[in-house]
Structure 1
């Protein structure tokens, strides 16, 4: 994958030869793009000089440039996940997709000097596949009208192309719009939910959202209002956030991503990031010739269920792309994977007693248990043969 830079040829018929090969006349750009694509990308009608074209291409650096290679010059290589936005490089998460990763845009200077509102939303809460991405977006209260003018909307109501186009607009508006993301891997989600101390998805979501608000405050953003798409009961969540951030006015609502533009913007940022992560997921496991046609990733999707069954290893389970704590995955594990009996597990009703619980076999944990009374140490035969004993006091 390369980043392309369009060159400005002189206005003459045909092409002008350069060091990089041939470059087209600007008047041929629409034909090279194709009519439908040119319409989709809103190619400007008047593109008489190089600067106009550079500005236009720059405004769409959040999209894959499906340009004919003849009108591009190879400049610098970029990763598969980094091409779509200069400020959203997913390379770090791509290198290690087993934990979490945080990304953020530069903070506009205006957000440090004026009161701001901040929206919170997530993408990928329900799927059994892929990460969950939490996003915030913030802008000055004085610029809310400009944000609304971008016509942001709930990401779930938009097509992928529309989301990327709107993210491109948000990226263009970086003089008054900022954002940040927390990417939580499937492995992190599952291990968190199945640890000994109960930590459910709602708690994980709440903590992630609060951490992002704190990040904005630590970066100097003057946050005075926070709007949140609820997770769980809205009133309890709002009270929790208000107690954590008493100086901020908090509003938690169901469907907030369709009610407040700043939440819609956060939703778009999170969804765009998740879409690209899922498409370019780097599997650590060798899946052989398994096709990556896993459907929507939601538990009730037949394609997703079929793919889960095909990628299951009977001993090692699922690849880390799968949230193994989801009930859909658990059912497949229970039915198709090799059963494992833990020696110190509870005795199953009507079954064979587990080790250490009436079976006569000591539990594995019994070897590490702290003994209540110290074991009496047997003296060496030298002392025994000579009738010598250890005394505590004289």
Structure 2
């Protein structure tokens, strides 16, 4: 990883919100759904994601099919990104597979993924003019804060992923009124259980949840590319920002230093976490503190222990401050002065 200041940054990334540790969504423009004319744009059997009883040459109703996939579920560093990608039914395979060779993002090279994303964001290209997409970026900070809640209120990763999926589908279908009728999703856990949950939320949509959906349905493949590129660039930007902060703190940062892919299995990632751990606060909001890798380092490998006052101790301190040696109660103004003055207050 290096300086990405001159690199392509897709509109799915808001650097300011990213560096602030916020989660946010992005929706592309909604392409017009052109009326399908069998004489000029026949529906071919290969373009239909599901079997129909219609003859390939007969006129069929035109609508969008939508795919959902994610990137960055397992890393200890950086965000997780969910993406939805929708395309006119009659272009589903011919455009995405035949013309642009979308596939599972893990199979494509970084260069191919980046080129596809650039085309998707370039006005005038068939991808830009025909397809739409959306992303939900879940920050490492928000992922961890949800997972580290007390047991009864814990917001686990599957629940967060489910909510992200529902949010972007709803944002496209209900808020932006895009005529989506078929949805294909790469599963979280048991496909049948996940599909039933989504069908209850979206009863008017034909939903298919499947393992390896990113290899089976081109719209899911395209969603996986959007999610992967967004996640990778976000991770690069976060790294550059972390290095900049270290330099401002006059810390020694090697130009060749890198945190790699951000996965716990990546030795570069583990080494970066170990050598850049702040004794009390650990790391910045680019780290998922709920991951075992981070927790173990903080607890066992040198993290400074801090004992915070209990509620009882806090009340005792307040009682002490509110009483003078003679037993009279101090005014609220005097109590505020003990803690300090507002920056705007005239002393």
Q: TM-score, length-normalised on structure 2?
A: 0.72
**Structure 1: where are the runs of 5+ without partners?**
1-78, 345-355, 357-361, 369-394
Pairing 1:28-67 to 2, within 5 Å after superposition: none
Aligned to 1:286: 246
**Partner of residue 304 from structure 1, selected from 269, 276, 280:** 269
Q: Distance in 2 between matches of 1:121 and 1:131?
A: 14
Q: Distance in 2 between matches of 1:333 and 1:280?
A: 25
Q: How far has the Cα of 1:81 moved from its partner? A: 7.1
User: Is 2:85–2:222's contact at 8 Å kept on the other side of the alignment?
Assistant: yes
Classify the secondary structure of the residue corresponding to 2:130.
Answer: coil
User: Is 1:81–1:89's contact at 8 Å kept on the other side of the alignment?
Assistant: no
User: Is 1:186–1:322's contact at 8 Å kept on the other side of the alignment?
Assistant: yes
User: Is 1:225–1:250's contact at 8 Å kept on the other side of the alignment?
Assistant: yes
How has the CA–CA distance of structure 1 residues 240 and 95 changed in structure 2, closer, same or farther, with 3 Å as cutoff? closer
**Partner of residue 304 from structure 2, selected from 330, 334, 338:** 338
- The answer to whether structure 1 residue 188 and structure 2 residue 142 are counterparts is yes
Q: 1 or 2 for the larger relative contact order (CA 8 Å, sep ≥6)? A: 2
User: Is 2:97–2:103's contact at 8 Å kept on the other side of the alignment?
Assistant: no
Q: Distance in 2 between matches of 1:223 and 1:135?
A: 15
Q: Distance in 1 between matches of 2:87 and 2:270?
A: 41
Classify the secondary structure of the residue corresponding to 2:181.
Answer: strand
- The answer to whether structure 1 residue 226 and structure 2 residue 149 are counterparts is no
Question: Deviating runs (4+, > 6 A) in structure 1?
Answer: 365-368
User: Is 2:15–2:237's contact at 8 Å kept on the other side of the alignment?
Assistant: no
Q: Distance in 1 between matches of 2:222 and 2:26?
A: 15
**Partner of residue 13 from structure 2, selected from 78, 90, 102:** 90
Q: Distance in 2 between matches of 1:211 and 1:81?
A: 32
Classify the secondary structure of the residue corresponding to 1:110.
Answer: coil
Pairing 1:128-277 to 2, within 5 Å after superposition: 128-144=76-92, 145-149=94-98, 150-171=100-121, 172=125, 173-196=127-150, 197-217=153-173, 218-277=175-234
Classify the secondary structure of the residue corresponding to 2:128.
Answer: coil
**Partner of residue 321 from structure 1, selected from 283, 286, 291:** 286
Q: Distance in 2 between matches of 1:170 and 1:276?
A: 16
Q: Distance in 2 between matches of 1:366 and 1:254?
A: 57
Q: TM-score, length-normalised on structure 1?
A: 0.64
**Higher mean C-alpha deviation, range 335-344 or range 188-197:** 335-344
Q: Distance in 2 between matches of 1:111 and 1:324?
A: 47
Aligned to 1:125: 73
